[in-house]
Structures are given as structure tokens and as C-alpha cells.
Structure 1
Amino acid sequence: MASLRYPAPESYRTSHGLTVHLWRHEQPVNNPVLLVHGFASNTLYNWVKTGWLDPLAGTGRSVIAVDLPGHGASRDVDAGAAGLRAADVLADLAEVATDTGGAVDLHGYSMGSRLSWEFAHRYPQLVSSLVMGGSPVSDEVYQVDADQARSWAAGGSEPADEATRKFITVASALPDQHLPHVVEFRLALAHDTYRPEEMVPAVPTLVVAGSKDGIAAGAEKLAELVQKTGQPAQFVEIPGRNHVNVLTARDYKSAVTGFLAR
């Protein structure tokens, strides 16, 4: 298969505002892989620029990636105005998986892993395996002052709350961000508390985190939760990598492609 390029040959918008990017493998021998990016990122920066497309296509799979509402090619979508919740995003992911043949190998990163965990729990028939990258184990890392976050995103003063200030700094890091829409999507997800122990997916799972990734501290617990369902699960730590640069690590890609080849 030729080297994959961005933009994807095919793209479309779902009913709740996800933009789907699709690279079809000419002769697929396995399920497609579905990629869900992290907070304040997008397909281009989370997966393309970090070198994920060709290794995944090399496993004999079509590659599907989504831009979440307010992010990337979906930057025009205001989750707050639309009243979006996590269930809406999961329903659209279910449609994407179904439209591409059914079961997918699901790979979420950071905030995308939170969504992927819940998706695999709600729709196990659509998930043949799950990769959780840079995964928080609770909502604690996203506890922010919503009013201060919205004010700063709209051009107001810097948040007095330290956690909110860090949150907004991350949100504004990439070029061409629609900062208010990025913030509104994360605040929309905050309406649903993330307690992974209450929604454990019973599918084969790989959990990956950098050894210096404070956001994913304790991520090995996720693998332990899946193991208790009777499904195989493993945790891989990438030495010396943090929440940002772990995505470029060869060891991360090797762990995932090896897992997919199981």
C-alpha cells in the first residue's frame, strides 16, 4: 500500500459534528483501525504528523480517524450551543464503525481514550480490540472553572484558578484553534463523570503511557480492570516520554502494531 497522505482521500461529517477521515486499504486483511485524538488536538497533529498512518496501514487495515467537535476540520462545531454530550459522540462513532463494516480496532489517545473506553463498554460488538494511550484514570485532571475557562477563551483575563489556566494553555497550543469551541467540547464532556471502574470494556486491551506522563499516572489500573472481566490486557510504559512526545515514540508504535498482529 502506498504511503498515506493528509488530507484523506475520503472525508465526511457525522450528524453530531465529527469529521471522519478515511484511508481505505486496497486489500484489507483485518478490521479497520479507528483513531480518536486527544483534547485540543486533531487527526493531523495527533496521528499524521506523529507518523501513525503508515505503520497502521502496514498491518493490513484501513485507517479511520475522527476530528471531534470543535477540533480540526470540525472547528466550526460549538458543542455547548448544540447541547452535545458524550453519548452523542459515542453514537456517531457507532455509526462510523457500522458503516465501515462492523467491528473496528479502536485506538484512543488522552481524552480520546476516555471516549474509547466508554465506547468499547457500550458497543462491545463493534470493538475487536482497544488501545488506550495517555489515559487519565478519572476526571481529576480536567477539573476546571467553567466560567473562567469560557471568559479566557473569549478574550478575557487569564484564569485565576491554576488548573483552569493550565487547561486553557493546552487548549491554545496548536495553530488555527477555535479556542471557544475546543473549550466547549471539553466542558460538554464534563457533564458526564468519568469513572472507568463503572464501565469496564470486556475486549482485548492494550494500555500505553510514557513514564513521565503525569496525566496518565496510574493507567496500569485500566489493564487490571479489563483483566478482571476475563479478557487479555497489558500495560506498556514508554521510558522517558511525556504526554506529548510519547506519540512519536517507536516503542509505542511497535507495541500497538504487535498487539494488532496478535
Structure 2
Amino acid sequence: MAKIRDRTEDFKDVVRQTALSLGYNESKMAAILSSFIIHKPLQRTSFTKAALKTLESIRTLEQFIMQHRKDYVDVHRTTEQERDSIEHEVTVFIKACKDQIDILKNSISGEEAKSRGWLGIRDDHSNADTIAHKHGVVLILSERLHSVTAQFDQLRAIRFQDAINRRIPRKKMKRVSSSNATEIPKSINSELREPDEPQPEPLRVQQQLLDDETRALQVELSSLLDAVQETETQMVEMSALNHLMSTHILQQAQQIELLYEQVRIHFVVCIFGYLYI
């Protein structure tokens, strides 16, 4: 049986001689060999750069919410204007992130339209996989933005609930103060009257009528005040619920649209594979 001979060194010598004959010097050969060992980093596409930028914006938004969480929830730390300013900045952040995600979606749609043939069917499996991967990236970014906005929605719900709780005790205090105010004039009038002084009958009847009218007006004003405060509380609750509802509807619409795109891509790929089979 013949012995196995290692011809690696002979191969290297042949490669070196061939390279020298083609005009390569030792430095060029060393650079080529090093490029085989240490690969250059791949150039990132514009989509990848935009996706990473969007992810960084979402992380910045999350850090901003966590940093100003106590200032937004605690009424003793900041004023209403400062909390409104925080909410405005968060809203601007969310809108900017959503616009970036929409730009990514539009770029995918444009690339998808270019990759279709004259029958509307893609002619490249690798391009279809790339587009599906990009749709997945957009879906991940949308879910990440949804989780961050859900955190802020919880803080907003706490703020609105605290505002409602502050209005309810104030209503009770006003009721107590109004009842005390009705009792004070009666006590003053009773003290000013002499204990044994007889009152004429017409004056006593007139005083009784005035007292009845005063009590009726107080009851009516108290009921009107309660109705106004109850309406104000309901308006605050409706505002909070409308905002939460609009946020959830927008997020559900985005998820439905992404799912529709993924199903459509999968369907077209299946048709393309069936035609080629």
C-alpha cells in the first residue's frame, strides 16, 4: 500500500510562483492571505441602518419614560403644566418612531413591487426571503414600540385616576361645608333672639317661609354642583378611555396590516414554487 504524501508545501510553492509571475509581490500576497483569515465586515444596507436607528429611538423613548416616571405620576413633584409637557414630548417621540417604521414599510413595499414580474409573481426566492425577513424586522419594531406605549398608557391611567380621586373628596368637603354654613346662621339668629321675647305671628310665618326658601335654594344649588362635578368626572374618564381606545385601535391596525402582508408574501411564494414545480 502506497504511503500518503503531504503536498501542501508543494501547493504553496506553486501558488507563490504563479502569483509572482502574475505581478504580485510579497506585500500583496500577504494582504490577500490575511483577507482570507480575517474577513472584512459586511457593509450594512440602508434598511438595516434605518432599522437600527428606529430601535435606538425606541430605546431612547423608553429611557425617557423611565426617567420621568415619578415626575409624571407624583402630583407633589411637578405641576400640571410640567406633566403636560412630559406627555407632549412622549407623544412627539412616539410619532417620530411610528413615522420611521412607516418609512421602513414603504421601502419594503417598493422593493416588493420591483421584484415582481409581469404576472405579479416574484422570480427570485432569495429576494422573497429577504423581503419576508424585513417584514419580520418591522413587526418586531412595531411590537417593541407597542410595549413602550403600553407602559406610558399605564402611567396616563394612573394620572387620570388620581385626578378623579382628587375631585371626589373635594365634592364631599363642599357638601359638609355647605351644611355647616346653613347651620351657622340659624345658631346666630337663635343667639340674637332673646329667650323670652315673644314674636308676632306674621313675622314668624314670614321667617319660616324665608327659611324654607333658603333651604330649597341650598338643596337645588347643591344638586346642581353635584351634577356639574359628576359631569366633569365623567368627561375626564371619557377622555382617558378615548385616548386608550385610539392607541389600541392604531396598534391593532398596524398588527393586522403586518399579518396581512406576511400572509400575502407566503401565498405568492407558494404559488411561485408551485408554478416552478
Tell me the TM-score range normalised by the shorter chain.
under 0.3
Which structure exhibits the higher relative contact order, with contacts defined as CA atoms closer than 8 Å and separated by 6 or more residues?
2
When you count strand as a share of all residues, which structure comes out higher?
1
Structure having the larger proportion of residues in helix = 2
Larger of the two Rg values belongs to structure: 2
- TM-score, normalized by length of structure 2? 0.22
